[in-house]
Structure 1
């Protein structure tokens, strides 16, 4: 922790499913008032969201770190490439620009990887700002030490083509005149235009290919085999004509006469309606227009229903022969366990280009072994984890399901849903990306909740985030809705 924070009380707590990092100052006279108001009334993008509460002479500044991980924890298991490295530096220099826009001094920005938080899913990082008078000091030396520590002690860089940008940055950091402006100048000079953080150096050129000769070389053509011809786009590869089988089916259908009678009845009804409209039976002045319309609808509906009941009676259905063509299924070799009437296994012939290489002998699978293999494959294929006898080390037994036992073989041991950052991955959206971390120390085993929304519970009691809590043999651990039991 930063030595300048020794005069305040730092604690972590959970409120309304939020993980908070709190700093309590007993003597608020050392705090800069206008900067407190600036933090309280403005949302600065590069800073963590904060809440300021004053009780008597004590002032509490709380930062929301829900679902965020300290930068030093993220860098423990992440390889940094040129793109990620430049993105981190851009965010650091951008934080100073935002402080200047809000009239905040540079010295209050905490340049400590344990106090900088971010999401392991991306490269965004957020800072905390403490407006304390003792922290208003020269920022250039703190910035130099912070970046140097990241490069030398905390970051693991990818093995990728580079232009020695790290060595050039270290030379800038060693310069006695190093300051924030020098860092910005170096960033602008080394970031490739339009592709910041690219892993390809700016001065690298593509390797030219020799131009193809218009006239082919006869000697080369004889030595080299003709390349395989690729099918043209939009064309389908030729397929062998599969055998087609014609199937005859009998189906009961209504005859065409029934459908003609129904159509003629509907046409006659609409013709009658049209004639009555022309004669003026439905004019607005006619007092019997509504009665005539209702009567016509009832009579027409009854006549059509009577015709349908006669023309579409079940006994009027006739048989119709329908022919369908279906492809025959491809015959495959079948093995029987008794060895009788078994078909021979079909082995495709392979033509070898290099005659010096002997052809491998074709091994036929005995029918009884093929049957046994088929029976074994039909069973549930799942590897059962065996619990070793003796001192197998601490483990977690998962409740529910098959009661999986997870042996802890390295420390720290992380649990979460982000596979590349944890040791045991749980595909559950209620679990945090890095939900909890188990550690082993001189006092025994401990577990830490990594600022998750749904929290971590020990024997039914929710633990405070970002703090180590001791574990005992047989303790029940609840990660959101996933339950485990710890065994030493």
Structure 2
């Protein structure tokens, strides 16, 4: 089979020419008078003893080019469903499946949906085709946008290989099941499960007011109780207390605490505040101390052999030693940094000399023969560097690499530039308004090599090809 391409006006055609005797008249009439879903519409011309069939392929992209990019699950399923449903449709019109051309370079796909149309060649003595063998090879070359897509497609592929799916009806059922399971399949995470507890991850910086330092609260004696204690203090009749040198001694309201006394009133437990040191606890206040007074002075005698005991006052009940620790345990509250910035990695920039402004792309200097190529859009000076093996140009933002959305004359996937070694070639994707290099039209699957200074025209949009 030898196909050629023709561009007539805004249309692009795939053509096939052969002798009249090679064509099957029944198939020709059936395709001419019926529009079969999934089959490219065609027209034919007769020249002497030859017939030329034309298939309209304008705005379609070949399946071979379409599957070079990672595809979403709906688009992959549409490709499979289109092939299976078209094969079943042919049986209803009593057409042999042997007439289908199962070659990705002659199968045409809608860019937005993935629906694929096939070429049916109504000729005699065609060879047998293996639809499931073709599908196995196709599924082995498709790239997936997400891992969930691979799970659904691999399930279908395994069923075909194992013989579980042997008919086209079973294949369509499996495709419908995969469409129903879409969104339900979840890939198990290899990382450890998430636990909603304190982790090593640092929280995002949040503004917080500066902590206020609080001193530990201590129980202070109540003055009213002290005054009451003084009033209830018994006095001995006829006796006075004298100081050491004969003067009347005033009793002290507060006495010095004993150093060895451990029993104290309850102290409120302290707590740690982030950014502060350990809490400083104040020694407990002991009970009122005894005031030493000479017994001889009390009785009119001299000497220092006795002491006058202070009257007992009502005090708080004694607390068992060891019931409360003298120093409250500190709570371990982690201190998080408030204003920590994440470090970003911007890669490496190699400057050839300290004083110049030339930025060398890392890796290019290793191969002296390697050069950088780009295309320049004349309308606005926009540049597109050709860093990939295939660079698509068009108006479909979700599909192309060089997006041109402000010109409706540009096709959704108008053309593509293919890299082979150090050379670049341009190919038209059956666009309505065609692609030109230096004024010469690029037709069908033709590849035209680009050279520095070439002018590329897509519809009415002009680009320049440059090498540096």
TM range (shorter): 0.5 to 0.7
Residue in 2 that maps onto 1:188 = 173
Deviation at 1:465, TM superposition (A): 2.7
CA separation in 1, counterparts of 2:51 and 2:149?
A: 50
The structure with more helix, counted as a fraction of residues: 1
SS in 2 for 1:422: coil
Residue in 2 that maps onto 1:421 = 399
Residue in 1 that maps onto 2:16 = 23
Deviation at 1:151, TM superposition (A): 1.1
Structure 2: give runs of 5+ residues left out of the alignment.
Answer: 187-196, 198-205, 212-272, 275-334, 341-357
Offset from partner CA, 1:215-259 (integer Å, 9 cap, x none): xxxxxxxx9xxxxxxxxxxxxxxxxxxxxxxxxxxxxxxxxxxxx
Residue in 2 that maps onto 1:227 = none
Deviation at 1:147, TM superposition (A): 0.4
Residue in 2 that maps onto 1:326 = none
Deviation at 1:14, TM superposition (A): 0.5
Alignment of 1:132-151 (within 5 A): 132-135=123-126, 137=128, 139=129, 142-151=130-139
The answer (yes or no) to whether the contact 1:446–1:471 under 8 Å persists in 2 is yes
CA separation in 2, counterparts of 1:58 and 1:480?
A: 34
The answer (yes or no) to whether the contact 2:148–2:185 under 8 Å persists in 1 is no
The answer (yes or no) to whether the contact 1:414–1:424 under 8 Å persists in 2 is yes
Superposition TM-score, scaled by structure 1 size: 0.56
Deviation at 1:350, TM superposition (A): 4.1
Task: Report whether the alignment pairs 1:41 with 2:33.
Answer: yes
SS in 1 for 2:336: coil
Choose from 10, 13, 24 the match for 2:6: 13
SS in 1 for 2:147: coil
Task: Report whether the alignment pairs 1:64 with 2:64.
Answer: no
Greater Rg by CA: 2
Q: Larger deviation: 418-427 or 440-449? A: 440-449
Task: Report whether the alignment pairs 1:407 with 2:385.
Answer: yes
Q: Alpha carbons of 1:22 and 1:352: their partners in 2 closer, same or farther (altered >3 Å)?
A: farther
The answer (yes or no) to whether the contact 2:72–2:149 under 8 Å persists in 1 is no
Deviation at 1:169, TM superposition (A): 3.5
Residue in 1 that maps onto 2:279 = none
Q: Provide the alpha-carbon RMSD of the alignment.
A: 3.6
CA separation in 1, counterparts of 2:113 and 2:210?
A: 51
Choose from 93, 113, 116 the match for 1:102: 93
Structure 1: give runs of 5+ residues left out of the alignment.
Answer: 203-222, 224-347, 362-384
Matched residue pairs, number?
Answer: 307
Alignment of 1:62-461 (within 5 A): 62-81=54-73, 83-135=74-126, 137=128, 139=129, 142-156=130-144, 158-160=146-148, 166-167=154-155, 169-175=157-163, 179=166, 181=167, 183-188=168-173, 191-192=176-177, 196=180, 198-200=182-184, 350-351=208-209, 355=274, 356-357=335-336, 359-360=338-339, 392-401=371-380, 403-427=381-405, 428-441=407-420, 444-461=423-440
CA separation in 2, counterparts of 1:71 and 1:189?
A: 22
The answer (yes or no) to whether the contact 1:35–1:131 under 8 Å persists in 2 is yes
CA separation in 2, counterparts of 1:387 and 1:448?
A: 30
The answer (yes or no) to whether the contact 1:24–1:58 under 8 Å persists in 2 is yes
Superposition TM-score, scaled by structure 2 size: 0.58
CA separation in 2, counterparts of 1:161 and 1:101?
A: 32
SS in 2 for 1:79: coil
Deviation at 1:28, TM superposition (A): 2.2
SS in 1 for 2:106: coil
Offset from partner CA, 1:438-462 (integer Å, 9 cap, x none): 1234794321111111111122233
CA separation in 2, counterparts of 1:162 and 1:397?
A: 38
The answer (yes or no) to whether the contact 1:75–1:156 under 8 Å persists in 2 is no
Q: Alpha carbons of 1:481 and 1:350: their partners in 2 closer, same or farther (altered >3 Å)?
A: farther
The answer (yes or no) to whether the contact 1:172–1:178 under 8 Å persists in 2 is yes
